[in-house]
């Protein structure tokens, strides 16, 4: 197998939440610093700032810039990689955000499939090639058809893999078939799971890590899971997978990041505030989260 284009993008990465004030009106930069430090203590390789979990659609560009500068600085001080979410359904805007990420000092970007306008595979190819051309910065493709309404096919990812700036893909299809084909077609790209419960199954077919939601809560376990399978200790990896599985499931009872922010509030690590159109979780979801946190020894 050929080496990965950029071997830095293996292991556990956390898609961090964006901490807001109790009314959701402002970003709590002190809480952000604490969250990043918590991730570093858990052995996380890097953080994704302003991704889906970070409620990027509700951030103004001024907030995005402030969040990026603060998050990138804290990550660097903690010895972690910083990845900035720069996706857009406007190719020109995505290219603009790619340049912003470069100027802010990010190590890489996470660029999601254009949403709502549902481009063809040719449109997706041209979109991501334009983004990758716009700045000398590594790009992680983000394939999440459940959010965007369109999926990158393995054939299109193979075409995109020819671009030197495209180094990885966050595969959030939940399909081991898709992951298997991508790993075979694109062996130089780092295949990262975009679903916590699929981290170990994807590793079995060529995955090399995860962009995780549940690591907001248990970074050491997610980091340990990745270290185990990357080191060939599959029995340990399976044990850790089973330890975090209930948390993985409950974090998606409602749309991400509603459950994870509720859990962080219960753990006194966040106000729990989300911005509309996200809302607080239902009483049933809150009860399920509380139960799983207790069963996991977190509360």
Taking the C-alpha atoms of residue 61 and residue 129, their distance in angstroms, rounded to an integer, is 23
User: Which of the following is catalytic: 115, 116, 118, 170?
Assistant: 170
**Catalytic site residue from 99, 116, 118, 142:** 142
**Around Cβ 79, how many Cβ atoms within 10 Å?**
9
What is the DSSP track for 115-169? PSS---HHHHHHHHHHHHHHSSS-EEEEE-HHHHS----HHHHHHHTTSTTEEEE
290 among known catalytic residues: no
Is residue 170 part of the annotated active site? The answer reads yes
Query: Given phi > 0 = left and psi -120 to 50 = alpha, else beta, which region is 72?
Result: alpha
26: tokens are 């402002």
**Residue 211 to residue 14: CA distance in whole angstroms:** 6
Element housing 266 (H / E):
helix 258-266
Would you state the structure tokens that stand for residue 276, as one six-digit string? 């509309």
H/E stretch holding 171 reads: strand 166-171
DSSP symbol at 205:
T
Q: Let me know if 3 is exposed, middle or buried by CB neighbors in 10 A (0-12, 13-18, 19+).
A: exposed
Provide the token pair at 210.
């995860």
Structure tokens at 58: 């509700």
Q: Cβ-count burial of 240 within 10 angstroms (0-12 exposed, 13-18 middle, 19+ buried)?
A: buried
Catalytic positions:
142, 170
């Amino acid at each position: 197998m050929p080496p990965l284009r950029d071997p830095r993008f293996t292991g556990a990465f956390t898609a961090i939440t964006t901490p807001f004030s109790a009314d959701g009106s402002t970003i709590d930069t002190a809480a952000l610093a604490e969250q990043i430090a918590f991730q570093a203590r858990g052995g996380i390789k890097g953080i994704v700032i302003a991704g889906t979990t970070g409620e990027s659609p509700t951030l103004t560009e001024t907030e995005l810039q402030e969040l990026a500068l603060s998050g990138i600085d804290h990550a660097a001080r903690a010895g972690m990689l910083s990845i900035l979410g720069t996706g857009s359904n406007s190719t020109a805007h995505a290219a603009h955000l790619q340049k912003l990420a470069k100027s802010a000092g990010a190590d890489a970007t996470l660029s999601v499939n254009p949403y709502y306008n549902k481009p063809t595979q040719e449109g997706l190819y041209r979109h991501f090639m334009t983004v990758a051309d716009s700045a000398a910065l590594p790009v992680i493709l983000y394939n999440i058809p459940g959010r965007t309404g369109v999926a990158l096919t393995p054939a299109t990812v193979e075409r995109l893999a020819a671009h030197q700036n495209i180094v990885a893909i966050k595969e959030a299809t939940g399909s081991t078939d898709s992951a298997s084909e991508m790993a075979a077609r694109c062996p130089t790209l780092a295949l990262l799971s975009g679903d916590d419960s699929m981290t170990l199954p994807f590793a079995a077919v060529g995955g090399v890590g995860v962009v995780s939601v549940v690591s907001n809560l248990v970074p050491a376990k997610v980091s340990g899971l990745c270290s185990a399978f990357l080191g060939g200790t599959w029995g340990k990896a399976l044990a850790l997978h089973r330890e975090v599985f209930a948390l993985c499931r409950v974090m998606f009872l409602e749309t991400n990041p509603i459950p994870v922010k509720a859990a962080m509030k219960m753990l006194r690590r966040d106000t729990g505030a989300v911005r509309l159109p996200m809302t607080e979780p239902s009483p049933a979801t809150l009860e399920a989260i509380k139960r799983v946190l207790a069963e996991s020894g977190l509360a």
